[in-house]
Amino acid sequence: MSWKIWSLKKSPWVFHVNAGACNNCDIEIVDLLTPKFDVERFGVKLVGSPRHADALLVTGVGTRQAAKRVQEAYRQTPKPCVVFAIGACACGTGIFNTGYHVVGPIDKIIKEVDPNAIIAYVPGCPPKPEAMISGIVKALSAL
Amino acid sequence: MAAVYERDKRGKKMSEVFESLFWILIFPGFLFTAVFGLAASWIVRKVSALVQWRVGPPLYQPYVDVMKLLGKEILIPENAQISIFVGAPIVGLAGVLLLSTMLWRITIEPTRPFVGDIIVAIYLMVLPSLALILGSSASASPHAAVGTSREMKLVMSYELPLVLAFVVVIIKTAALTGQGQQLSLAAISRHTPVLSISGMLAFLVTLLCVQAKLGFVPFDIAESETEVAGGVMMEYSGALLALWKIIQAMMLVALPLFLVMVFLGGFGTAGWPLVGGISKYVLVLVLLILIKNTNPRVRIDQAMKFFWVYCGITLVVAVILATAGNYYGIGWL
């Protein structure tokens, strides 16, 4: 394993992108940083700019308005990076499947920019923090 | 004979150059200060985590962070002024490198004729902030522009109290140091001005100025991640961001060390003075961390008012007290 990948696994900084979520998944993401789960133990840090990030946590169905912004945020993220589709909506648009404003799911939107993007799916409405930690571990061990 | 002498002189010059390079790049300079500083930044994160009832990151975390950033892609904004954008972190690193080398050298070899005085230290301390202003304003990002303007206002607000606080120190120690030694850091670091009313006031204000210089809460206005997405740092990525992280880590060594030297009687190099010096450094660091963790972020106008009005008045009182104490020969004033 090269040192780049090893250090990436030890300190994944995440940036949170809301692509039309109902805010439920977002609250659960913030849960990860609280004393009960404390993902800073594993070097995970929430950063303010996609340029500092190694992983994008995308929540929501991917609306027409948000899709362009998600693609731009992905372009602005230095590679190598991982995209997480957090929640049922992001994984497969969920109950909003036939909505007039939906262009998602997230993997389709990201693959328009980069067909080889690494995308991990964490289903649930909202996914439990334990499920997100498990998803992060699985995605990082697949790198 | 003459040739041998020439070669000898050249050899001596070369060895001096190598010695200086060793000082700057390896022992008290870059390598040592960066490693020490990253460990100090781990202490900051760990103590913050403990204050918030969390476990916190492992000891190797800051080193892995820097390693990871070095391995990542460097993105440069399309409209950025590339030379300034890339050059700014190098200028900042040069400033903090000179500052830390100078402070360590004074600590280790206080008898050496001249290695810089308090004025040089004040200049070098402002260099990383200026580099940050330059670099972020060259990035052509609106968020970074907001951060830049805040950083500029912050520099303007804390520089005045900082210089006034050093004036207090110089007045306090002028009678104790020798003729022509009033500005010498080596001479000042033999005294403890903090053991007097005016010195204590100056120390507290300088502690808050250092808080602002390090960009810690409550004065992390320029870099506020939840507000302006990282502000001044926003457009930096990869190795350039790693450079900024190293600069911040080195400042975390240099600024508390400077406080210890100016106010708390300096750092020893062996035995009990060394233990005392390390405990003084840790004391200053823990004070900074506790201020960081018990305060909310202030607005820029609140910060300016705080530094200019409250800190300014405090220091005017301190200067008057110190002058009076000096005039009437009262040590504790």
Give tens-digit pLDDT for B10-35: 666 778 788 778 877 877 878 888 99
**Which B residues 213-232 touch A at CB under 8 Å?**
224-226, 228-230
Higher pLDDT: B9 or B128? It is B128
Q: What percent of chain B has pLDDT over 90?
A: 29
> Are A48 and B72 an interchain contact pair (Cβ–Cβ within 8 Å)?
no
CA distance linking residue B277 with residue B279, whole number of Å? 5
Handedness of CA B98, B104, B106, B111 (dihedral sign): negative
Distance CA B47, CA B55 (A): 9
Residue A108 lies in a domain: yes
Q: Which domain holds residue A27?
A: 3-138
ipTM passes above 0.95: no
- Among chain A residues, CA nearest to B238: A78
pLDDT reading at B56 higher than 70: yes
Q: Residue A48: which of B71, B72, B230 has the nearest Cβ?
A: B230
- Measured CA to CA, the distance from residue A18 to residue A109 in angstroms comes to 14
Q: How does residue B309 score in pLDDT terms, banded at 50, 70 and 90?
A: very high
Q: How far is A59 from chain B (nearest CA, A)?
A: 18
CA–CA distance from B95 to each of A88, B76, B92, B250 (Å)?
A: 50, 23, 5, 10
Nearest CA in chain B to A49: B229
Whose tokens are 């781990």? That residue is B42
Pairing of strands A118-122, A45-46: unpaired
* Spatial separation of the C-alpha atoms in residues B85 and B140, rounded to whole Å: 10
Closest residue of B to A11, CA-based?
A: B65
pLDDT value for B204: 92
- Name the residue ranges covered by the structural domains of chain B: 14-328
Considering CB atoms only, which of B49, B53, B64 is closest to A10? B64
Q: Is residue A73 part of a domain?
A: yes
Segment A119-143, tens digit of pLDDT: 889 988 889 898 988 888 888 887 7
State chain A's maximal CA–CA distance in angstroms. Answer: 46
Least Cα separation, residue A78 to chain B (angstroms): 5
Interface test with B, best of A9, A37, A49, A82 (most B CBs within 10 A): A49
How many domains does the structure of chain A reveal? Answer: 1
Q: What is the pTM of this model?
A: 0.88
In a domain, residue A143? The reply is no
Residue A51 lies in a domain: yes
What is the model's pLDDT at position B9?
62
Specify the CATH number for the domain of residue A120.
Answer: 3.40.50.12280
Q: With bands split at pLDDT 50, 70 and 90, how would you rate the model's confidence at B1?
A: very low
Whether B57 and chain A come into contact, CB under 8 Å, resolves to yes
Q: Are B72 and A38 a contacting pair at CB < 8 A?
A: no
| Mean pLDDT calculated for residue range B133-153 | 88
Residue A55 pairs in a beta bridge with A14, A82
Model confidence at B39, pLDDT cuts 50, 70, 90, reads: very high
CA distance linking residue B243 with residue B76, whole number of Å: 15
Task: Dump pLDDT digits (tens) for B258-294.
Answer: 999 888 887 777 778 888 888 898 899 989 999 998 9
Average pLDDT on A20-26 reads 88
What is the structure's pLDDT at B66?
Answer: 92
pLDDT in tens, B204-262: 999 999 999 988 888 888 787 777 777 788 888 888 999 999 999 999 999 999 999 88
Q: Which residue is listed with tokens 């899709």?
A: A67
Bridge partners of residue A119, in order along the sequence: A83
Q: Which residue of A has its CA nearest to B236?
A: A51
In three state form, how does the secondary structure of chain B look?
A: CHHHHHHHHHHHHHHHHHHHHHHHHCCCCHHHHHHHHHHHHHHHHHHHHHHCCCCCCCCCHHHHHHHHHHHCCCCCCCCCCHHHHHHHHHHHHHHHHHHHHHHHHHHHCCCCCCCCEHHHHHHHHHHHHHHHHHHHHCCCCHHHHHHHHHHHHHHHHHHHHHHHHHHHHHHHHHCCCCCCCCCEHHHHCCCCHHHCHHHHHHHHHHHHHHHHHCCCCCCCHHHCHHHHCCHHHCCCCHHHHHHHHHHHHHHHHHHHHHHHHHHCCCCCCCHHHHHHHHHHHHHHHHHHHHHHHCCCCCCHHHHHHHHHHHHHHHHHHHHHHHHHHHHHCCCCC
Integer Cα distance of A141 and B219 in angstroms: 39
